């Protein structure tokens, strides 16, 4: 696979942009691209200079999902080989979902199949008004299995029960209503403008605090509000208050100065 199918650009301000670059086949992905994406994500997560990750794609469409030739190869493979292959995609989704940095997906055109999973695994999704989403797997006798934990959390069980089975396409506005998309903009130019504005806002926040905030969401989501959860949340705020970043943030606030993580 050519390295040009997945592009990585890390700016001096700590913004990393990971771009699918197969516009001629609508940015469909295969096992090699899945591996490449996963490797990049692991490296970016471990890179302290990276503050924000933007997931994007070149061309008319965000991604058509699985590549036809890849699906053809998998159809001829054994159950064990298919299981191993599926674990690769599951690993990509898990890695993206759990990334310690803020993640933003920029969606234009079609986001089908596994591409919906990529969007669901990102913290923030911005889409153009012309975008269309589709969980299309059942049309070819399959299911959206490996992306399902993230998509169900994004759109809810009720919507998943319909769209997992119907394979209907839904609009950016519907995706926003369901909870998959946070912001809908007019076109690709507005997509980049909205992304830049959001990145600027994120870069003003404490890096460790944002990581802890994401971990907090995972820790409290769908959990009973009992003494264990209450004690855990109290411990979390105490931990970050006495951390170096927490102390710097509180001092900067009280002294009415800029905290040291803001370079400008």
- Model confidence at 264, pLDDT cuts 50, 70, 90, reads low
Q: How many residues does the chain have?
A: 264
Signed CA dihedral, 250, 12, 97, 178: sign only: positive
Give the percent of the chain with pLDDT over 90: 90
Q: Across-strand partners of 53?
A: 16, 103
Q: Report the chain's C-alpha Rg in angstroms.
A: 19
**pLDDT of 109 higher than 90:** yes
Residue among 8, 199, 212 nearest 100 (CA): 212
Give the model's pLDDT for residue 70: 85
**pLDDT of 42 higher than 70:** yes
Per-residue pLDDT tens over the stretch 207-254? 999 999 999 999 999 899 999 999 999 999 999 999 999 999 999 999
Per-residue pLDDT tens over the stretch 85-97? 899 999 999 999 9
In order, the DSSP letters of 192-208 are HHHHHHHHHHHHTS-HH
Domain ranges of the chain: 6-202, 206-255
Which pTM does this prediction carry? 0.94
**pLDDT of 3 higher than 90:** no
The mean pLDDT of 123-136, rounded to a whole number, is 98
Distance CA 52, CA 67 (A): 28
- Model confidence at 75, pLDDT cuts 50, 70, 90, reads confident
Give the model's pLDDT for residue 1: 42
Q: What is the CATH number of domain 6-202?
A: 3.90.226.10
Residue among 129, 122, 133, 125 nearest 106 (CA): 125
- Residue scoring higher pLDDT (67 or 130): 130
End-to-end CA distance of the chain: give it in Å, rounded.
40
Distance CA 219, CA 20 (A): 31
Residue among 35, 41, 42 nearest 54 (CA): 41
The mean pLDDT of 177-189, rounded to a whole number, is 97
């Amino acid at each position: 696979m050519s390295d040009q199918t997945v592009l990585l650009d890390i700016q001096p301000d700590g913004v990393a942009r990971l771009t699918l670059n197969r516009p001629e086949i609508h940015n469909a992905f295969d096992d090699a691209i899945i591996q490449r994406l996963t490797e990049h994500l692991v490296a970016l997560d471990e890179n302290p200079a990276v503050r924000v990750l933007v997931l994007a794609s070149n061309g008319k469409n965000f991604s058509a999902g699985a590549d036809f030739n890849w699906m053809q190869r998998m159809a001829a493979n054994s159950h064990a080989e298919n299981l191993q292959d599926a674990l690769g995609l599951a690993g990509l989704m898990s890695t993206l979902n759990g990334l310690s940095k803020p993640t933003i997906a920029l969606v234009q055109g079609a986001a089908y199949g596994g591409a919906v999973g990529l969007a669901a695994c990102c913290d923030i999704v911005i889409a153009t008004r012309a975008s269309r989403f589709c969980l299309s797997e059942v049309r070819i006798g399959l299911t959206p299995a490996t992306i399902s934990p993230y998509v169900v959390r994004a759109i809810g069980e009720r919507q998943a029960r319909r769209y997992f089975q119907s394979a209907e396409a839904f609009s950016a506005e519907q995706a926003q209503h369901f909870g998959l998309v946070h912001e809908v903009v007019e076109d690709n130019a507005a997509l980049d403008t909205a992304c830049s504005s959001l990145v600027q806002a994120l870069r003003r926040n404490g890096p460790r605090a944002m990581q802890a905030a994401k971990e907090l969401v995972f820790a409290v989501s769908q959990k009973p509000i009992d003494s264990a959860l209450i004690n855990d949340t109290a411990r979390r705020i105490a931990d970050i208050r006495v951390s170096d970043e927490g102390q710097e943030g509180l001092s900067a606030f009280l002294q009415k100065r800029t905290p040291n993580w803001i370079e400008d």
